[in-house]
């Protein structure tokens, strides 16, 4: 399957998850599972939806542009063993998790100009799914560029391997912002990450910087 088709499928599934998670958060049936919210919300209306829609279009276009611009360094369509095809996405995601932890902790929370960029996302103190796209376009670019760089370092990979990596990256970005605590088998890990990220959103001085796993926060003493 060509790269453009794989990326389109992942983006479509991400859109479906975005709508599902947002609908679940607003459902009265999920009221008792909601994490605390701003009352009243400070980011709402046109301010929220303009940025979210803009980032939706920008991030979708950006992944195609970056993937095809870096195609010779990212991708190799040679058949690989099942072991390599399994280990590559794990390696990319673990490398990205560590690299993003550093970027998030030091660049976004300590460097003055990037701190102002990241402050856009932190304007939401208690997030739900829609807020996963409430961020500065530069932060969107840096996150995707970092994912591509980690893929280059581990790769080159088959397009389907990158599609798996991009799906995990995209889905988790939505789920850690879902604003729900669901003590249900299979969702406890997601709920754990959502709780931790909700704590992170309450302050620019807190911890819980990791994106995919809590490993770096635990190792470096920034878990809250």
pTM: 0.94
Identify whether the C-beta of residue 175 lies closer than 8 Å to the C-beta of residue 18.
Answer: no
Angle at 159 between CA 133 and CA 85, to 5 degrees: 110
Say how far apart CA 11 and CA 91 lie, in whole Å: 22
Q: What are phi and psi for residue 83, nearest 5 degrees?
A: -65, -45
Which mean pLDDT values do the consecutive 10-residue runs of the chain (224 residues) have? 97 97 93 83 88 97 98 92 92 98 96 94 91 96 98 96 98 94 83 91 87 94 91
Q: Which residues of 7-33 are buried (b: 16+ CB within 10 A; e: fewer)?
A: beebbeebeebbeebbebbeeeebeeb
Q: What is the pLDDT of residue 149?
A: 98
Say how far apart CA 33 and CA 56 lie, in whole Å: 27
Identify whether the C-beta of residue 221 lies closer than 8 Å to the C-beta of residue 106.
Answer: no
Q: What is the pLDDT of residue 190?
A: 87
Q: What is the pLDDT of residue 204?
A: 80
- DSSP secondary structure, 40-63, as one string: S-SS-HHHHHHHHHHHHHHHHHHH
Nearest to 98 by CA among 1, 213, 208, 13: 213
Q: What is the pLDDT of residue 41?
A: 79
Q: What is the pLDDT of residue 12?
A: 98
Cis peptide before 175 (omega within 30 of 0): no
The DSSP H or E segment spanning 8 is helix 3-26
Query: CA-CA-CA-CA torsion for 59, 165, 109, 116, nearest 10 degrees?
Result: 0
Count of all residues that appear for the chain in the document: 224
């Amino acid at each position: 399957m060509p790269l453009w088709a794989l990326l389109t499928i992942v983006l479509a599934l991400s859109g479906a998850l975005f709508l599902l998670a947002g609908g679940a958060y607003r459902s009265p049936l999920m009221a008792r599972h909601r994490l605390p919210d701003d009352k009243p919300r400070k980011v709402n209306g046109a301010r929220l939806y303009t940025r979210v829609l803009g980032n939706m279009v920008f991030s979708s276009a950006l992944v195609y542009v970056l993937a095809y611009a870096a195609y010779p360094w990212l991708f190799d369509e040679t058949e690989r063993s099942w072991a390599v095809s399994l280990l590559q996405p794990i390696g990319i995601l673990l490398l990205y998790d560590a690299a993003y932890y550093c970027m998030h902790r030091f660049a976004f929370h300590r460097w003055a100009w990037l701190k102002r960029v990241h402050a856009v996302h932190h304007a939401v103190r208690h997030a739900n799914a829609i807020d996963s796209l409430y961020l500065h376009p530069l932060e969107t670019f840096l996150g995707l560029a970092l994912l591509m760089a980690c893929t280059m370092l581990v790769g080159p990979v088959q397009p389907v391997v990158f599609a798996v990596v991009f799906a995990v990256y995209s889905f988790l970005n939505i789920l850690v912002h879902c604003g729900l605590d669901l003590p249900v088998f299979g969702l406890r890990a997601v709920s754990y990450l959502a709780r931790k990220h909700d704590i992170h959103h309450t302050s620019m001085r807190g911890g819980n910087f990791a994106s995919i796993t809590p490993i770096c926060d635990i190792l470096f003493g920034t878990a809250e």
